[in-house]
A and B are shown apart, each in its own frame.
Chain A
Amino acid sequence: MRLTALTAAMVMTAGAAWAEEKTLDIGVSDALTGGGAVYGLPQTNAVKLAAKEINASGGIKVGEDTYMLNVIAYDDKANPTEASNAVRKLIDRDGVKYILGFCCSGATGAVASFIEYEDAVMLVGNAAERSITTREIPNLTRTRPPADYTGAAAGTFVAEKGHKRVAVLGALDVGFYASYVDAFEKELEKAGGEIVSREAFGLKDRDMSPQLTKIRGQEPDAILVVGYVEPAAFIYRQAVELGIDVPRYGFTSGSEDQFTRVATSEQMEGVWDLRPTELTLLSASENGKAYHANYTEEFGIAPSPSSPYSYDQTYALKDAIEAAGTVEDTEAVAEALREIAVPDEVVMQYLPVDDKMFDENGQAYTSNGAFQWQGGNWVFVQDLPSDAAAYSAFLSTLDD
């Protein structure tokens, strides 16, 4: 009896050793605290969720080996130095070769400046600064389209609504918000409209009534708000409180939960968000609905609209590793990333260029959409004009 038990134990141990799975550490550098955490924390959660799903469905297959993903996440506080430290730590100390996340442009730009010389692949999520994918960095890809790609579409949409005099209130010292507004203005002017005022606010500002009072005096047809979720929510609320009764357009990518922490649903009613076609429950695909449900169950809170950028990164990485047939050769995986089709599991609605998820610059494109706050939810109203191929060609001409 004792012998039988021992034999059984040996067989089980041998079996376990035979079926031993390998672990692939993937890193996340993102804003887990501070102002950028509204984007960074959901992105980090989304990578963890995707890794859990990939592990549950058998991991990443590389030849005979199967790799289970282990996520190591560090807080970069959206700060360039912190991000450099976090990524150097992931690469040098933790031996990580694949780094995801990157919600914020300043921190992302800092890492992008040296990642080319590292034995690693960088997958950028929500950071929208255009120059990140104009530097021809072979081991960098990004899932979110640049801000001006969306800004141009937004300008056309607002012009089509018949608005001629638009007042802008935004975090205009942040490069990608400024480039959104520039592209918006160009399209608005084509239709005979104009921006009558460009008022700025800081990312930590919460009282925007002075700027709004000035804007009210200029009697615009509409206002455009570009900035992080929290200050934008304050603007929408204060606009109502000041009696500004013109259509409010924005570029924020905040979830319902994030907005209603600051403004009531009534104060938000009718607000437009003109952004990439990110996640909203009412417009989501089957993948989107499943992602929303799983994320909410896992983390006890609804996902932010932009969080799937990093969820999709994780699946893109999986496909690229499987296509390259290696986890060690980062060059091969980086090359494979630029060749893969859009994975089946992704949540965002990507517009492939030449049937590939990422173009030659490592840039992915989603469609742009007009979302409106209706009865407590962001409701997808219509697609905005989004010519990914044309923008990709334009991006290739830039050299920042």
Chain B
Amino acid sequence: MARNRTFILYWLALVGFVLLPQLISVKYYIHLCVLALIWVIAAQGQNLIQGYTGYVSIVQAGFMGIGAYSTALMGMHFDLPVWLTIILAPFVTAFFALLTGYPSLRVKGHYFAIVTLAFNMVIFIVLMNFHDLTQGEAGITGIPKPGGKDALFNWRDRETYYYFVLIIAALMTGLAALIVRSRIGQILVAIRQNEDLVGAVGIAAWKYKLFAFVTSAMFAGLAGAIYAHYQSFINPEIFGIAQSLDAILAVIIGGSGTIAGPIIGAFFVVFLPEYLRFADSFRLILYGLVLVLATIFMPRGIAGIARDLMEKRRGRT
């Protein structure tokens, strides 16, 4: 019964997302929704490693950068079609995630967080300084939209891109739900709760942790690739540690270890700074304050609070 209700809620949410552009008269908010949906993909990935496995990774934006640059560079240098480079980008990211994941997952807790933070810094420095390949701080411009010249849809129209990203975000959310409901997902949760016990019953925890880390990176790589083709411009600035922290915040604020959480959190981290613009130069202070308060008073995130409220209401009836 409860599962059916959740299912209906997800469908209602999807219908709401489909109708959203028709309800928004100012295109700017569609632009923000596109960015938020891209963040949904990245945050669902972050949730796999952080929310379900219990390992806080601070490299999600770095992996987004790898995805973004790989799709742009493959298109530029090998003349591959946009669709193909978007599909390949998560695999390129996975390769780098494998290289970095194997050593970094040998440590736990804060040490893992610090190692991944260092990886994000390395990615950022390489993007900034490998000028011949990445064009450094100036960035890569003119990244083509999907579809080409004779496309069926106008990909420059934000609404078209919105529906494209919505489909991908929904699919990736569905994939994340499938993973966490599978045996693998159960083992990931078990690792979060007691990794030693998982090892004691004969499960090679490292394989599952590596799976979560690489899958998380693939989500980020895909998000980065979609971002690159949406903005038509990338430079290292947007793939720094601050953005990785945003991915972590999206998971915490939305609801760590829930499927709905990253969706809510992604919209939160994109829209809140915009709505605080009225506060001018104080907005970052306000943003920080809201985040601190939310983390202290809503440790289970917005999804957790919503669930508590629903259960309370159900208890009364």
Contacts and interface: CB of A to CB of B under 8 A. Distances in A.
Q: B interface, by DSSP: helix, strand, loop or mixed?
A: helix
A175 B26 contact: no
A80 B136 contact: no
A174 B238 contact: no
Most interface-central of B129, B231, B235 (chain A CB within 10 A)? B235
B141 A79 contact: no
A80 B233 contact: yes
B238 A113 contact: no
Contacts of A175: 131, 135-138
23 contacts: A32-B281, A79-B237, A79-B238, A80-B231, A80-B233, A93-B26, A93-B29, A106-B137, A106-B139, A106-B237, A109-B141, A109-B235, A110-B231, A112-B141, A113-B233, A114-B233, A117-B156, A129-B138, A173-B128, A173-B129, A173-B136, A175-B137, A178-B136
Interface string A41-69: 00000000000000000000000000000
Interface string A65-85: 000000000110001110011
A135 B143 CA distance: 13
B128 to A, nearest CB: 5
A307 interface: no
B78 interface: no
A176 interface: yes
Nearest to A171: B137
Interface in A85-99: 85, 88-89, 91-93
A131 B27 CA distance: 29
Given A93-B28, A178-B131, A114 B139 contact: no
B274 interface: yes
A33 interface: yes
Given A80-B233, A93-B28, A113-B141, 13 more contacts: A33-B281, A74-B277, A75-B281, A80-B139, A80-B235, A80-B237, A81-B35, A88-B28, A92-B31, A106-B138, A109-B233, A110-B231, A114-B231
The number of chain B residues touching the other chain, given as a range, is 20 to 34
Contacts of B156: 117
Contacts of B27: 88, 92
A372 interface: no
A105 interface: yes
Nearest to B129: A173
A247 to B, nearest CB: 28
Interface in B217-235: 231-235
